[in-house]
Structure formats: structure tokens, C-alpha cells
Amino acid sequence: MTASTETIASTLLRWYDSHARDLPWRNPPGAPLPGDPDWPYRVWLSEVMLQQTTVAAVKPYYEKFLKRWPSVGDLAAAEEADVMAEWAGLGYYSRARNLHACARQVIELGGFPSEEAELRKLPGVGRYIAAAVASIAFGKHAVVVDANVERIVSRLFSIEIPLPKGREQITIRSAEITPRRRAGDFAQAQMDLGSTLCATRNPKCLLCPLSGHCQARQSGEPERYPMKAPKKAKPLRKGTAWWIERHGSAGKEVWLETRPGKGMLGGMRALPDDGWSASGDGGGEAPITGETENLGLVRHTFTHVSLELSVVRIVAASEPSGEGQWWPLCEIEQAGLPTLFAKAARLALAGS
């Protein structure tokens, strides 16, 4: 590290020591690593949940997971369907499947590896999570780059290369400023700085401890960074979901299926649909005959595609085809439906 980069690291760590957010998965700034053997599990769990999700959204899920599965061994022994159900609403459901698979592999290994390269061999653990767990959970020197770090570093060094190509240069400059000691605290300091001061819009440069080093601030246009390539329009898919209901012995029930393990929303409980995830335009046949009612549309945006889903109520006169189960309407909140089908359920219940 040069004198300048050392100054950046020491300045930010001093700021973090006084301004660190109090989060349930975080060790106090500068404190020794906890001796608790489940500490790496808690760090890893939080980092998986925080991918593309806000801290506010993650907190209740994190606490709920830890209450139900306090250790990685508990999570590994769980049924995948239960893990998916508890994850419902957090989105990006492949994370939940990888979470469960990773927990099982960690148990086979006898615990979490402490080295970044070994962590990257685990299911669902890429460069970012491996670096975060290595540095935060094990105190290793690792370069952690998330969206907050991309924004801070691209502004500090006025990096003009648009994302995603600019990530290579951002990673190089991040490595230059990451200290050998307290790399985990430094990573979390950047996360806090990006969340509170160096925001995407209206950055609070006057309060920022790094403002004197920031080339973007000196240019007068910090919001230009990080530069991004123009977004491509997302394709629109259309499909149909069926709300199949009947009067059971304990009241009204709705038919739920478990989606195939691979593909969008894989392994989740859901309403039967016409295969929009495969064909892109719906058009399949209902899994049962009976009196029908068109309830309207629900719309949902995934990472790479937008969806319009027609919701059709069918009053069952026989058993639906395929694998599934009748679920009591009074307990629909416990079904763990992903957001798309939870929207469809709310539409159907509003029309009841």
C-alpha cells in the first residue's frame, strides 16, 4: 500500500469505529473474533441473504432462520421444502436451494473452510461471499467488492469504464486500499459508508470521511459513478395461473403444487400454471375442468424478464391431475408462496 492508500484505509476504519451500524450478524469494530463455532455460519447466512436485498428486508428473515436452525448442522438436516418456504418473499430463490446444499457440504467437510479459495468451491459461494466470509468470519486478508464498494471505489478513483466491464479495474483499486489487518472491518466500513453517506443519489459528500481523497467529488459530479452501460429492455412473458378451490372438511382449500427443482422459482410451492417459465407465452390447458372465473392480472418483474399472469378461479368438481396438495385457505400465509404467487393469492382472496 502507498501512503495515500494507507491513509484511505486508516481514515475509513477510524470513521467505522465510531459510526458502525449495529446489526445482528456483526461483530463490534476492532473486537477479537468470537470464539463461537457458529460464528462463520451466521456471517455466511447473512451474506447470502444480503445479496441484492436490503438490510431492512433481511433482518426478520435472518432472525427467523437462526431461531429455527441455530447452527449449520440444523440447517443441513432440514427438509429443502421447509427452507424454501421460510425463504419465501426474499426472492432469487436459487439462493435458498444453494444455501441448503452448501450447509450439507459444510457438514461433510467438518466445518466452513477459512480460506477464500476453498470457500469458493461451496455451492452458491462466489467471489464476493467467499471474500466476505474469509475476512469477516476468519480475519483473513481478502478483497470484498459489493455494490457499495463499487460505488465508493469508482468515485474515489474516478473510474470511467462502465459496469460490468469496470469491475476489473474496481477490484484492482479495491485491493490497493484494503489493509492487511482488519480487512473484515474495512469491508463492513465500506458497506456502511455506501449505505449511509456515499449513496447512489444525493451523496452526503460534506460528511464523508474520504471526501478529501475522492476524485469524483473534486470533479463536482459524484453521481456519475459508477458508470453503467445502457440497460436492455426486459422481455415480457404472459401466462395463466389457476386458483383451484373446493370446500374441504375444515373449510375452503386451494390446490398447490411444488414446482420442479430447476428453473424459475424451482422447488417452491405455487399455484398450477401453464408453463410460462418454459414457453414464455402460456397457452397451456387447465389441470382440471369446472366452473371458471377470470380474476384479473398480476404483474411481477424478475431479474431478466417481466411477467403478466392471468389468474383464473376454478371450482373443483374432481381431483386435479399431477402432484400437489389441498391447502387450507385459513393457513395460506404458512404455505411459503413466492412473491409472484402470493400476489395471485391476494387477488383471489380479494375476489372471494
Helices (H), 110-239: 116-119, 127-132, 138, 147-156, 167-177, 183-196, 215-219
Catalytic annotation present for 47: yes
Q: Could you tell me the end-to-end alpha-carbon distance of the chain, in angstroms, rounded to an integer?
A: 66
Q: Which of 6, 47, 108, 333 is catalytic?
A: 47
Can you state the percent helix, strand and coil of the chain, rounding each to 5? Answer: 45, 15, 40
Helix (H) or strand (E) holding 5: helix 3-19
Q: What is the DSSP string of 75-102?
A: HHHS-HHHHHHHHTTS--THHHHHHHHH
Residue 265, amino acid: L
Q: Pick from 116, 48, 109: which is nearest to 76 by CA?
A: 109
Q: What is the distance between the alpha carbons of residues 27 and 36, in angstroms, rounded to a whole number?
A: 12
The residue among 145, 166, 172, 178 whose CA lies nearest residue 224 is: 166
State the DSSP code for 273: B
Residues that are catalytic: 47
